[in-house]
Structure formats: C-alpha cells, structure tokens
Amino acid sequence: MARDRDTIWCDGCGVEITWAPVIDEQFVYCCADCHAGLPCQCGEHMEQEDEYRGHGQNVELPAWSVT
C-alpha cells in the first residue's frame, strides 16, 4: 500500500484513493475491478469530477438559490 501522509494510492492502477478502498490483506485497491486485476475507470471519473468542479468556480448563483 502506497502512502504519503494522508494520501493512499491504488496498488492496482495507481490512482489516488479519496473514497473507501477495497482492502485485501496488505493491498489497497480503488475498486473491485482493480482488485480482480481488471482495467478500471476510477482515474477517468476523478478527472471528470475535477473538470466539473473547475467549471463551478466564478459562477454567479441565481438569486433564488441564495438563502
């Protein structure tokens, strides 16, 4: 299991794990697919989430959404 302070990386694909991992003895995986040795989509999903969060910056909220 790769760790750097509070950061954990998947032992299968190397993606940073920021959610509940799949743990198998001393190995940590990002998902069941990596645990099974199959290709996974976790890295792509993380990139999409980062991209989505970036679009939300500097956006003015409609008046009705502000309480």
Predicted TM-score (pTM) of the model is 0.62
Number of domains in the chain: 1
pLDDT at residue 67 greater than cutoff 50: no
CB count within 10 Å of CB 56 equals 8
For the chain, give percent helix, strand, coil, nearest 5: 30, 20, 50
Say if 61 falls within a structural domain. Answer: no
pLDDT digits (tens, 9 = 90+) for 21-55: 999 988 999 999 999 999 998 888 777 665 555 55
Q: Which residue has the higher pLDDT, 2 or 25?
A: 25
Say if 51 falls within a structural domain. Answer: no
What span, in angstroms and rounded, lies between the C-alpha atoms of 29 and 20? 9
Dihedrals φ, ψ of 32, to 5°?
A: -65, -30
pLDDT at residue 20 greater than cutoff 80: yes
Residue 57 pLDDT class (50, 70, 90 cuts): low
What is the extent of the structural domain holding 7? 1-45
Are 12 and 30 within 8 A, CB to CB? yes
Say if 60 falls within a structural domain. Answer: no
